[in-house]
C-alpha cells in the first residue's frame, strides 16, 4: 500500500505493532520457561497476557478501519526476538540468576520498542481525532510501561545482586 497521508501511516504502523506484539508474545513465553526466579516467571507470564490484550486491541482497531493484521511484518522486532533467544535462552550461562538478569535485559529491549510503537500510535490517533482509538492505545502504552517498570523492580530488587556471585 502506498502511504499518502497520516491515516495511511497510522494503519501501516498499527499493522507493524501488531506484528511486533505477535513476535514478542512467542519469545516472552520462551523467556518465561527459561527463567529461574518465580517472580520473574510470573512477571513474564503477565507480559504474555498483556501482549495478548494489546493484540486484541490492535485487531479491533484495525478491523474498525477496514484493515487486517498480518499485512506487515516487523523486522525491527524480528531482530530483537532473535537477540532475546540468542542471549536469554541459547547463550551458555551457567548461573540461573545471571540468566534471569539477561532475560530481563532482553525483555526490556522488546518492551522499549513496543513503548515507542504505541507512543507513536497514540500521537497519530490524537492528531487524526480518533479519540476512542487513542484511549485504547494509551491503555496499551500504559500497560507496556507497567511491564517495563515491573522488570526494573525485579532486577533492582534482587535478581541483579544474585547474579553478581
User: Class of the 6-163 domain?
Assistant: mainly alpha
Q: How confident is the model at residue 91 (pLDDT cuts 50, 70, 90)?
A: very high
- Chain segment 129-158, per-residue pLDDT in tens: 999 999 999 999 999 999 999 999 999 999
pTM of the model: 0.95
**How far apart are the C-alpha atoms of 162 and 95, rounded to whole Å?**
10
**Could you give the 3-state DSSP secondary structure of residue 67?**
coil
The residue ranges of every structural domain in the chain are 6-163
Q: Are 60 and 16 in contact (CB under 8 A)?
A: no
- Exposed e or buried b per residue across 40-57, where buried means at least 16 C-beta atoms within 10 angstroms of its C-beta: bbebbebbbebbeebbeb
Amino acid at each position: 500500500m502506498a502511504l499518502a497521508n497520516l491515516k495511511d501511516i497510522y494503519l501501516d504502523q498499527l499493522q507493524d505493532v501488531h506484528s511486533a506484539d505477535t513476535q514478542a508474545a512467542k519469545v516472552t513465553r520462551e523467556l518465561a520457561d527459561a527463567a529461574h526466579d518465580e517472580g520473574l516467571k510470573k512477571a513474564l507470564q503477565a507480559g504474555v497476557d498483556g501482549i495478548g490484550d494489546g493484540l486484541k486491541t490492535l485487531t479491533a482497531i484495525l478491523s474498525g478501519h477496514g484493515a487486517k493484521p498480518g499485512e506487515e511484518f516487523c523486522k525491527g522486532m524480528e531482530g530483537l526476538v532473535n537477540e532475546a533467544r540468542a542471549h536469554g535462552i541459547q547463550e551458555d550461562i551457567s548461573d540461573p540468576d545471571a540468566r534471569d538478569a539477561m532475560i530481563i535485559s532482553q525483555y526490556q529491549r522488546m518492551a522499549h520498542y513496543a513503548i515507542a510503537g504505541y507512543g507513536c500510535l497514540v500521537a497519530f490517533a490524537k492528531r487524526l481525532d480518533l479519540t476512542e482509538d487513542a484511549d485504547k492505545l494509551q491503555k496499551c502504552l500504559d500497560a507496556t510501561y507497567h511491564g517495563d517498570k515491573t522488570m526494573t523492580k525485579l532486577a533492582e530488587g534482587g535478581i541483579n545482586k544474585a547474579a553478581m556471585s
